[in-house]
Structure 1
Amino acid sequence: MTKFLLAVHVLAAIVAIGPVTVAASMFPPAARKALAEPGDGQARSTVQLLHRICQVYAVVGVVVPVFGFATAQAMGVLGDTWLIVSIALTAVAAVVLAALVLPRQTAIAEGIWHDAATVGPRATVRLAMFTGVFNLLWAAVTILMIVRPGSTTGA
Protein backbone atom coordinates (compact mmCIF):
# COMPACT_ATOMS: atom_id res chain seq x y z
CA MET A 1 0.00 0.00 0.00
CA THR A 2 2.89 2.35 0.77
CA LYS A 3 4.25 2.05 -2.78
CA PHE A 4 0.81 2.81 -4.22
CA LEU A 5 0.40 5.90 -2.01
CA LEU A 6 3.89 7.10 -2.84
CA ALA A 7 3.30 6.58 -6.57
CA VAL A 8 0.04 8.56 -6.46
CA HIS A 9 1.71 11.29 -4.38
CA VAL A 10 4.61 11.66 -6.85
CA LEU A 11 2.35 11.48 -9.92
CA ALA A 12 0.00 14.06 -8.43
CA ALA A 13 2.95 16.35 -7.74
CA ILE A 14 4.19 16.03 -11.31
CA VAL A 15 0.76 16.38 -12.92
CA ALA A 16 -0.62 19.12 -10.65
CA ILE A 17 2.30 21.19 -9.39
CA GLY A 18 4.34 21.03 -12.59
CA PRO A 19 1.77 22.88 -14.72
CA VAL A 20 1.28 25.54 -12.05
CA THR A 21 5.00 26.28 -11.82
CA VAL A 22 5.40 26.41 -15.60
CA ALA A 23 2.24 28.42 -16.34
CA ALA A 24 2.91 30.82 -13.46
CA SER A 25 6.44 31.39 -14.76
CA MET A 26 5.15 32.01 -18.29
CA PHE A 27 2.44 34.43 -17.13
CA PRO A 28 4.51 37.61 -16.44
CA PRO A 29 6.26 37.70 -19.85
CA ALA A 30 2.99 36.88 -21.60
CA ALA A 31 1.27 39.66 -19.67
CA ARG A 32 4.03 42.13 -20.56
CA LYS A 33 3.56 41.24 -24.23
CA ALA A 34 -0.22 41.64 -24.00
CA LEU A 35 0.18 44.99 -22.25
CA ALA A 36 2.68 46.19 -24.87
CA GLU A 37 0.39 45.14 -27.71
CA PRO A 38 -3.18 45.80 -26.48
CA GLY A 39 -4.72 44.91 -29.82
CA ASP A 40 -3.13 41.47 -29.91
CA GLY A 41 -6.01 39.11 -29.13
CA GLN A 42 -3.70 36.08 -29.18
CA ALA A 43 -1.49 37.58 -26.45
CA ARG A 44 -4.52 38.40 -24.33
CA SER A 45 -5.91 34.88 -24.79
CA THR A 46 -2.57 33.39 -23.79
CA VAL A 47 -2.61 35.36 -20.54
CA GLN A 48 -6.13 34.18 -19.82
CA LEU A 49 -5.21 30.56 -20.56
CA LEU A 50 -2.11 30.62 -18.35
CA HIS A 51 -4.14 32.10 -15.50
CA ARG A 52 -6.82 29.43 -15.91
CA ILE A 53 -4.18 26.68 -15.86
CA CYS A 54 -2.80 28.08 -12.61
CA GLN A 55 -6.24 28.25 -11.01
CA VAL A 56 -7.36 24.77 -12.03
CA TYR A 57 -4.12 22.97 -11.24
CA ALA A 58 -3.80 24.79 -7.91
CA VAL A 59 -7.09 23.17 -6.89
CA VAL A 60 -6.02 19.79 -8.28
CA GLY A 61 -2.74 20.20 -6.37
CA VAL A 62 -4.56 19.70 -3.08
CA VAL A 63 -4.27 15.95 -3.64
CA VAL A 64 -0.47 16.20 -3.35
CA PRO A 65 -0.35 16.88 0.40
CA VAL A 66 -3.33 14.59 1.01
CA PHE A 67 -1.48 11.62 -0.48
CA GLY A 68 1.75 12.91 1.05
CA PHE A 69 0.29 12.66 4.54
CA ALA A 70 -1.10 9.20 3.79
CA THR A 71 2.28 8.08 2.46
CA ALA A 72 4.17 9.53 5.44
CA GLN A 73 1.82 7.82 7.86
CA ALA A 74 2.22 4.49 6.05
CA MET A 75 6.01 4.91 6.12
CA GLY A 76 6.01 5.95 9.78
CA VAL A 77 7.85 9.21 9.16
CA LEU A 78 5.26 11.79 10.24
CA GLY A 79 7.51 13.06 13.03
CA ASP A 80 10.72 13.28 10.98
CA THR A 81 12.26 16.73 10.76
CA TRP A 82 12.66 16.65 6.96
CA LEU A 83 8.97 15.95 6.58
CA ILE A 84 7.89 18.64 9.02
CA VAL A 85 10.08 21.16 7.16
CA SER A 86 8.58 19.95 3.85
CA ILE A 87 5.06 20.39 5.22
CA ALA A 88 5.89 23.91 6.41
CA LEU A 89 7.42 24.86 3.06
CA THR A 90 4.41 23.39 1.25
CA ALA A 91 2.08 25.47 3.41
CA VAL A 92 4.10 28.62 2.70
CA ALA A 93 4.07 27.82 -1.03
CA ALA A 94 0.28 27.40 -0.91
CA VAL A 95 -0.09 30.77 0.82
CA VAL A 96 2.20 32.46 -1.70
CA LEU A 97 0.19 30.99 -4.56
CA ALA A 98 -3.23 31.72 -3.08
CA ALA A 99 -2.50 35.15 -1.59
CA LEU A 100 0.18 36.64 -3.83
CA VAL A 101 0.34 34.94 -7.23
CA LEU A 102 -3.24 34.12 -8.23
CA PRO A 103 -4.81 37.43 -7.12
CA ARG A 104 -2.14 39.40 -8.98
CA GLN A 105 -2.65 37.26 -12.07
CA THR A 106 -6.38 37.94 -11.84
CA ALA A 107 -5.85 41.70 -11.55
CA ILE A 108 -3.42 41.77 -14.46
CA ALA A 109 -5.59 39.53 -16.67
CA GLU A 110 -8.67 41.65 -15.97
CA GLY A 111 -6.71 44.81 -16.65
CA ILE A 112 -5.51 43.44 -19.97
CA TRP A 113 -9.06 42.58 -21.05
CA HIS A 114 -10.84 45.66 -19.70
CA ASP A 115 -8.45 48.57 -19.14
CA ALA A 116 -4.71 48.04 -19.54
CA ALA A 117 -4.09 51.45 -17.97
CA THR A 118 -5.13 50.01 -14.60
CA VAL A 119 -2.15 47.63 -14.65
CA GLY A 120 0.87 49.38 -13.21
CA PRO A 121 4.18 48.94 -15.01
CA ARG A 122 5.70 47.11 -12.05
CA ALA A 123 2.79 44.72 -11.58
CA THR A 124 4.32 42.02 -13.74
CA VAL A 125 7.71 42.46 -12.04
CA ARG A 126 6.20 41.91 -8.60
CA LEU A 127 4.23 38.95 -9.88
CA ALA A 128 7.39 37.44 -11.37
CA MET A 129 9.11 37.83 -8.00
CA PHE A 130 6.31 36.09 -6.09
CA THR A 131 6.17 33.38 -8.75
CA GLY A 132 9.90 32.84 -8.32
CA VAL A 133 9.46 32.50 -4.55
CA PHE A 134 6.68 29.96 -5.13
CA ASN A 135 8.87 27.96 -7.52
CA LEU A 136 11.86 28.04 -5.15
CA LEU A 137 9.70 26.75 -2.30
CA TRP A 138 8.59 23.82 -4.44
CA ALA A 139 12.17 23.16 -5.49
CA ALA A 140 13.20 23.02 -1.82
CA VAL A 141 10.34 20.62 -1.02
CA THR A 142 11.32 18.42 -3.96
CA ILE A 143 14.94 18.30 -2.80
CA LEU A 144 13.86 17.39 0.73
CA MET A 145 11.64 14.63 -0.63
CA ILE A 146 14.52 13.16 -2.60
CA VAL A 147 17.39 13.62 -0.12
CA ARG A 148 15.41 13.03 3.08
CA PRO A 149 18.08 13.96 5.66
CA GLY A 150 18.66 11.10 8.07
CA SER A 151 17.20 8.57 5.64
CA THR A 152 18.53 5.05 5.79
CA THR A 153 18.00 4.53 2.04
CA GLY A 154 21.54 5.67 1.29
CA ALA A 155 20.39 8.65 -0.74
Structure 2
Amino acid sequence: MTKILLSLHVLAAIVAVGPVTVAASMFPAAVRKAPVSVPAGAGAGEQAGPGDVRTVGLLHRICRVYAGLGIAVPVLGLATAAAMGVLGDAWLITSLILTAVAAGLLVAFVLPRQEELLAELADRRPVERARTARLAMLTGLFNLLWATVTVLMVVRPGSTTGA
Protein backbone atom coordinates (compact mmCIF):
# COMPACT_ATOMS: atom_id res chain seq x y z
CA MET A 1 0.00 0.00 0.00
CA THR A 2 2.88 2.36 0.78
CA LYS A 3 4.24 2.06 -2.76
CA ILE A 4 0.83 2.84 -4.24
CA LEU A 5 0.40 5.90 -2.00
CA LEU A 6 3.92 7.10 -2.75
CA SER A 7 3.35 6.65 -6.49
CA LEU A 8 0.08 8.60 -6.32
CA HIS A 9 1.77 11.33 -4.25
CA VAL A 10 4.59 11.72 -6.77
CA LEU A 11 2.18 11.64 -9.73
CA ALA A 12 -0.02 14.27 -8.08
CA ALA A 13 3.03 16.47 -7.50
CA ILE A 14 4.10 16.16 -11.13
CA VAL A 15 0.62 16.61 -12.62
CA ALA A 16 -0.65 19.32 -10.26
CA VAL A 17 2.36 21.33 -9.09
CA GLY A 18 4.35 21.15 -12.33
CA PRO A 19 1.83 23.07 -14.45
CA VAL A 20 1.40 25.74 -11.77
CA THR A 21 5.13 26.36 -11.51
CA VAL A 22 5.53 26.57 -15.29
CA ALA A 23 2.42 28.68 -15.98
CA ALA A 24 3.09 31.02 -13.06
CA SER A 25 6.67 31.48 -14.26
CA MET A 26 5.52 32.30 -17.79
CA PHE A 27 2.79 34.71 -16.66
CA PRO A 28 4.85 37.90 -15.94
CA ALA A 29 6.67 37.74 -19.28
CA ALA A 30 3.41 37.07 -21.12
CA VAL A 31 1.88 40.15 -19.48
CA ARG A 32 4.83 42.28 -20.61
CA LYS A 33 4.40 41.02 -24.19
CA ALA A 34 0.61 41.42 -24.27
CA PRO A 35 -0.62 44.32 -26.36
CA VAL A 36 -2.53 47.02 -24.52
CA SER A 37 -4.87 47.22 -27.48
CA VAL A 38 -5.60 45.01 -30.47
CA PRO A 39 -3.35 46.03 -33.38
CA ALA A 40 -4.95 47.95 -36.22
CA GLY A 41 -6.30 45.63 -38.86
CA ALA A 42 -6.65 42.65 -36.54
CA GLY A 43 -9.99 40.98 -37.07
CA ALA A 44 -12.26 39.67 -34.34
CA GLY A 45 -10.86 36.15 -34.51
CA GLU A 46 -7.24 37.04 -35.19
CA GLN A 47 -4.44 36.54 -32.72
CA ALA A 48 -2.66 39.68 -31.61
CA GLY A 49 0.65 37.86 -31.28
CA PRO A 50 2.54 35.57 -28.91
CA GLY A 51 1.83 37.83 -25.95
CA ASP A 52 -1.90 37.88 -26.59
CA VAL A 53 -4.17 38.71 -23.64
CA ARG A 54 -5.87 35.34 -24.18
CA THR A 55 -2.55 33.62 -23.52
CA VAL A 56 -2.23 35.51 -20.24
CA GLY A 57 -5.76 34.46 -19.32
CA LEU A 58 -4.99 30.84 -20.14
CA LEU A 59 -1.85 30.89 -17.98
CA HIS A 60 -3.87 32.28 -15.07
CA ARG A 61 -6.56 29.65 -15.54
CA ILE A 62 -3.93 26.90 -15.51
CA CYS A 63 -2.56 28.29 -12.25
CA ARG A 64 -6.01 28.45 -10.63
CA VAL A 65 -7.22 25.03 -11.74
CA TYR A 66 -4.02 23.14 -10.99
CA ALA A 67 -3.60 24.94 -7.65
CA GLY A 68 -6.95 23.42 -6.69
CA LEU A 69 -5.83 19.99 -7.83
CA GLY A 70 -2.59 20.49 -5.89
CA ILE A 71 -4.36 19.86 -2.60
CA ALA A 72 -4.02 16.17 -3.45
CA VAL A 73 -0.23 16.43 -3.04
CA PRO A 74 -0.09 17.05 0.74
CA VAL A 75 -3.12 14.82 1.35
CA LEU A 76 -1.44 11.89 -0.41
CA GLY A 77 1.87 12.87 1.18
CA LEU A 78 0.40 12.66 4.67
CA ALA A 79 -1.20 9.31 3.88
CA THR A 80 2.14 8.04 2.58
CA ALA A 81 4.01 9.37 5.63
CA ALA A 82 1.52 7.69 7.95
CA ALA A 83 1.93 4.40 6.12
CA MET A 84 5.72 4.74 6.34
CA GLY A 85 5.60 5.74 10.01
CA VAL A 86 7.54 8.98 9.49
CA LEU A 87 4.95 11.58 10.54
CA GLY A 88 7.23 12.88 13.31
CA ASP A 89 10.40 13.13 11.23
CA ALA A 90 11.93 16.61 11.00
CA TRP A 91 12.31 16.49 7.20
CA LEU A 92 8.61 15.73 6.81
CA ILE A 93 7.48 18.43 9.23
CA THR A 94 9.76 20.93 7.47
CA SER A 95 8.33 19.85 4.11
CA LEU A 96 4.78 20.31 5.38
CA ILE A 97 5.58 23.80 6.67
CA LEU A 98 7.25 24.77 3.39
CA THR A 99 4.30 23.33 1.45
CA ALA A 100 1.88 25.42 3.54
CA VAL A 101 4.00 28.54 2.99
CA ALA A 102 4.12 27.86 -0.77
CA ALA A 103 0.35 27.32 -0.93
CA GLY A 104 -0.26 30.47 1.11
CA LEU A 105 2.04 32.47 -1.15
CA LEU A 106 0.21 31.20 -4.23
CA VAL A 107 -3.27 31.86 -2.87
CA ALA A 108 -2.58 35.15 -1.06
CA PHE A 109 -0.15 36.84 -3.43
CA VAL A 110 0.51 35.17 -6.80
CA LEU A 111 -3.05 34.41 -7.95
CA PRO A 112 -4.53 37.76 -6.81
CA ARG A 113 -1.74 39.71 -8.52
CA GLN A 114 -2.27 37.68 -11.68
CA GLU A 115 -5.97 38.56 -11.55
CA GLU A 116 -5.18 42.27 -11.12
CA LEU A 117 -2.79 42.29 -14.06
CA LEU A 118 -5.21 40.33 -16.22
CA ALA A 119 -7.99 42.81 -15.39
CA GLU A 120 -5.72 45.70 -16.39
CA LEU A 121 -4.94 44.04 -19.70
CA ALA A 122 -8.61 43.26 -20.29
CA ASP A 123 -9.41 46.95 -19.69
CA ARG A 124 -6.60 47.83 -22.12
CA ARG A 125 -4.66 49.68 -19.44
CA PRO A 126 -0.87 49.62 -19.56
CA VAL A 127 0.84 47.49 -16.91
CA GLU A 128 3.88 48.81 -15.06
CA ARG A 129 6.95 46.65 -15.52
CA ALA A 130 7.71 46.89 -11.79
CA ARG A 131 4.45 45.08 -11.03
CA THR A 132 5.34 42.19 -13.32
CA ALA A 133 8.83 42.10 -11.80
CA ARG A 134 7.34 41.81 -8.28
CA LEU A 135 5.05 39.03 -9.47
CA ALA A 136 8.02 37.26 -11.05
CA MET A 137 9.86 37.51 -7.71
CA LEU A 138 6.91 36.05 -5.80
CA THR A 139 6.56 33.29 -8.37
CA GLY A 140 10.27 32.53 -8.11
CA LEU A 141 9.94 32.25 -4.34
CA PHE A 142 6.96 29.90 -4.78
CA ASN A 143 9.03 27.75 -7.16
CA LEU A 144 12.03 27.79 -4.82
CA LEU A 145 9.86 26.55 -1.95
CA TRP A 146 8.62 23.65 -4.10
CA ALA A 147 12.15 22.83 -5.21
CA THR A 148 13.25 22.74 -1.56
CA VAL A 149 10.34 20.43 -0.66
CA THR A 150 11.31 18.17 -3.57
CA VAL A 151 14.90 17.97 -2.37
CA LEU A 152 13.74 17.19 1.17
CA MET A 153 11.51 14.42 -0.17
CA VAL A 154 14.43 12.84 -2.00
CA VAL A 155 17.23 13.38 0.52
CA ARG A 156 15.18 12.89 3.71
CA PRO A 157 17.85 14.07 6.17
CA GLY A 158 18.11 11.75 9.15
CA SER A 159 16.15 9.02 7.41
CA THR A 160 17.06 5.44 8.23
CA THR A 161 15.85 4.07 4.89
CA GLY A 162 19.32 4.22 3.40
CA ALA A 163 18.23 6.32 0.42
TM-score normalised to the size of structure 2? 0.90
SS at match of 1:130: helix
2:9 equivalent in structure 1? 9
2:100 equivalent in structure 1? 91
Q: Is the 8 A contact 2:37 2:124 kept in 1?
A: no
1:18 equivalent in structure 2? 18
Deviation at 1:136, TM superposition (A): 0.1
Give the 4+ runs in structure 1 shifted more than 3 A.
Answer: none
Q: Distance in 2 between matches of 1:120 and 1:74?
A: 49
* Aligned partner (choices 148, 152, 157) of residue 144 of structure 1: 152
2:91 equivalent in structure 1? 82
1:66 equivalent in structure 2? 75
Deviation at 1:115, TM superposition (A): 3.5
More helix by share: 1
Q: Distance in 2 between matches of 1:123 and 1:82?
A: 35
Q: Deviations over 1:89-139 (max 9, x none)?
A: 00000011001100000000111011424x333110110000000000000
* Aligned partner (choices 122, 142, 146) of residue 113 of structure 1: 122
Deviation at 1:150, TM superposition (A): 1.2
1:38 equivalent in structure 2? 37
Give the gaps of 5 or more residues in structure 2: 40-47
2:66 equivalent in structure 1? 57
Q: Deviations over 1:17-69 (max 9, x none)?
A: 0000000000000000015x532645111000000000000000000000000
Rg (Cα) greater in structure: 2
Q: Is the 8 A contact 2:24 2:63 kept in 1?
A: yes
SS at match of 1:116: coil
CA RMSD across the alignment = 1.2
The total of aligned residue pairs comes to 153
Q: Distance in 1 between matches of 2:76 and 2:2?
A: 10
1:126 equivalent in structure 2? 134
